[in-house]
Structure 1
Amino acid sequence: MQDVAHWRALVAEWTERIARYRQSVEPVRRELHAAWREWVFALAHASLQAGLSRTERAQLDELVRETAAALLALEDDAEIAAVASRHAEEVASTPAPRRDADPELLEDLAQDWEQQAAAAAAQRAERAAKRRAAGVAQRRRKEEQEVSRSLRDVYRRLASVLHPDREPDAQQRAHKTALMQQANQAYADENLLALLELQLQAEQIDAAHLASVDRRRLQHYVIVLQEQLAELQSEARRLESGFRAATGLAAGSGLQPRKADRVISSEAQRLRDELLLLRRQTRSLLDGENTKAWLREQRKTT
């Protein structure tokens, strides 16, 4: 019972931390996603500015494709897909020079090759992003299946204990019927802790009651508690794993929920900083000279 109480508290703490993470981080993440969409449109618009060289236009095209691919890996977006398609078409439709081309045309050919290489790199990045997104989606589906299976197993065990046909006493039958209604609500809410607590109530497992039960009944209680302990340990590991994946922490176990608060604050601040920087860069693309200067800096860093 002490082990069950410990792991129950741990699951409750992780559940509370994950709710806090969603409240603190998810709104900023949604804003950041919207800002990245605006960034794609700003890049596409900047590529139409007068005074840009072919290299600069190709650089903007590549940025459009890379950013669009990353966004499309997260969700379907018809507008972003259309922008990415237009910029991919521009690369594919570049006319090939004649064999007897002069030096200027040869330079154009080299730039075309650069654009085609960039397009191929963007396609590879898009496929890699899709694979990563597919992996994340697969892990989420697996976690959801594990949660569903745990809830279903506990609910079935609880329903068996609370079955009204197995209770001859009218007062106890009414009590179990009330517990079953609570169990139905907990199952609908996917509240594993509530289901486990109701199971203890239905089985009448408490310290005072255990002192007066016979050995056979005590063995049954031990089995119930062992099942609960396994469910709680599995749920705690799942919650910690989900938190680590969401915040970019390395896979592992043993992170204390109280230490997650610092991670939550750090992640929220990091996303806010990224959002501010992205909005500032988006505004700077409205000016042609700023765009050219920024592209030069990008070429130096790559």
Structure 2
Amino acid sequence: MTTATVHPAHVARKLRGMPASDGAGVKLVRVIGSPQLDMLDPFLMLDEFGTDKPEDYLAGFPSHPHRGFETVTYMLDGRMRHKDNHGNEGVLVPGSVQWMTAGRGLIHSEMPEQEQGRMRGFQLWVNLPARDKMTAPRYQEFAPDRIPQVRPADGVTVKVIAGRVGDTVGPIDQPATAPVYLDVILAPGAAWTHELPDGHSAFAYPYEGSVTLGRDDAAREVLAQELAVLGGGAEVALRAGADGARLILVAGRPIREPVAKHGPFVMNTREELMQAFVDYQQGRF
């Protein structure tokens, strides 16, 4: 019996996000979905928000529509209340995750449930294949105690939001893109190697400290707030710098379909995009 060789991943590209604002003026950093990196199939956008200044987030994200893709909100600090026009409502607390499939369309809002203190987290947009774009909207929402946490190596803690680490499987289920979403915490100098599904698009984004990614001569240091687009193989080797590191490691199966997008709508053709605007304006969401 032969064992398939797993090739090491390397940093194919490294970039920094760009300051941006969204909603009613919430300040954030756009990492994917900028002129530097328009998308990384199936990922359409990655925003990092993080501030201690209430004026940067208090205006929130008032009611706005979505169609044709998924939004993933991972809260690190702060509290955010969400509501939609189908009667769904809840509060995202630190450590919680909301994986929202907009499907054929909904109108929702995300507003701070606080007037002071730190607000920090990520929002990731994940595309849907044509066959799923007009599916019924749904939420997969998990409180912090529903996100399994494992310690696969000395000095390594991993929160498994989606995908698998050893025998531990994250709670998010999405067959279309088979996503992996891990929050990895490394003690100073700690190392960990993880195998991603073969053929997935993948990136690592340290948001605290720094990490060396890759093996031997191909190893490259990635600093906080730098996005590392991964290439070359499925085996991701990580080693924290002197101050330790915290990063998200995300991967998904590419959809490889035409993308027509504008603002809150992501479809396959210009005609479908125009129809989304008509449906929204005529109250069909």
RCO comparison, higher one (Cα < 8 Å, 6+): 1
TM-score scaled by structure 1? 0.24
Question: Which of structures 1 and 2 has the bigger CA Rg?
Answer: 1
Greater per-residue helix proportion = 1
More strand, by proportion: 2
